[in-house]
Structure 1
């Protein structure tokens, strides 16, 4: 398994643009896609999509799929990116924080859009869609164990991402977002 940590400050700066996160998400859920197809899905110009895809490719987040034809589709090369300022020099730490905030902004925008669109879903999907939050009083060790248990649930069905033949009929791309924070005293 490839280390998901992004440590290069330049690569982290490449992730600091919110539109690049949109491209990562659209390729994760619907890829491989050409810049034109990304443009249609994201209501952005083909030139803009192409530029940002090339920037993501420069740092290894996406790549062009080889095949016939003039327009080459793009695909995700890393299913997971882990961003943390821990252990980075000040420049890298600032780039990591900026990239993480761009990711969160885009993720929250996406959650808002999908919650508003919930009313368009068939009834069998509506009950499972929503948000939830909980406050616990835990030790650092308990939190680590709890987070590991939640992450194990998040990896369930991961094989369906790379192999569409494993997806059951009627399945859809479902986004599950986990945030774990600790209050500072």
Structure 2
């Protein structure tokens, strides 16, 4: 991010985030205002040394920053809760890295959704019935698809903003609240598919 811009296209920054543990650490820091490497290790099952290394790499590429020291403990916090990974179409490395990153995110979210669906029978009905999987298909121009994508991005941002205080102030979390993930995407049939 430069000057608060959450859009990221630099291939090195994208590559630096495209690691399963780093994405998990960013998830954890999205749940809590600050966490130490030790707290991250407890939650991931990784070693403190591994978490510390990956936290430092996330800091090097400006995804996180040191928090307020707690005695000898050194917590970390997100620099921004919003990140939009977009390719710079003038840079083939950027296009390649953003594409690889998007594939990793889709696989990760699909795995998360599969685990949620598999656990459905053991979840209380109020939780099992609260989740959703929606799909829609229609004919659009590229400009209209951009409008749909922008609308979904705006909606996700508004939802994140609405519940942001619960992250920073755990006392504001209602009893029984869980950390919930929202994943949205738009895609179009490829030109080859249209000809088939």
Displacement of 1:138: 2.0
TM-score, normalised via structure 2 length: 0.81
TM-score of the superposed pair, with normalisation by structure 1: 0.85
Structure-1 residue corresponding to 2:194: none
**Could you tell which deviates more after superposition, 79-88 or 68-77?**
79-88
Whole-Å separation in 2 of the counterparts to 1:120 and 1:167:
27
Question: Quick one: distance in 1 between partners of 2:52 and 2:190?
Answer: 42
> CA 1:165–1:157 in structure 2 vs 1: closer, same or farther (change >3 Å)?
farther
Instruction: Provide the C-alpha distance between the structure 2 equivalents of 1:71 and 1:138, rounded to a whole number of angstroms.
Output: 52
Aligned ranges 1:6-155 → 2 under 5 Å: 6-155=8-157
After the TM superposition, which segments of 4 or more aligned residues of structure 1 sit over 6 Å from their partners? none
Cα contact 1:4–1:78 (8 A) shared by 2 = yes
Compute the displacement of 1:20 (Å). 0.9
Range with greater deviation from structure 2 (74-83 or 116-125): 116-125
Q: CA contact under 8 A between 1:65 and 1:75: conserved in structure 2? A: yes
1:169 maps to 2:171: no
TM-superposed deviation, 1:23: 1.0
Q: Is the 8 A contact 1:84 1:97 kept in 2?
A: no
* Whole-angstrom distance in 1 between the partners of 2:150 and 2:86: 17
Bigger drift between 125-134 and 32-41 goes to: 125-134
CA contact (8 A) 2:14 2:97 kept: yes
Residue 110 of structure 1 aligns to a residue whose secondary structure is: helix
RMSD, matched Cα: 2.3
Unaligned runs of 5+ in 1: none
Q: Does the 8 Å contact 1:57/1:63 carry over to 2?
A: yes
Distance in 2 (alpha carbons) for counterparts of 1:166 and 1:136? 43
Q: Which position in structure 2 is the counterpart of 1:184?
A: 190
**Worse overlay, 132-141 or 159-168:** 159-168
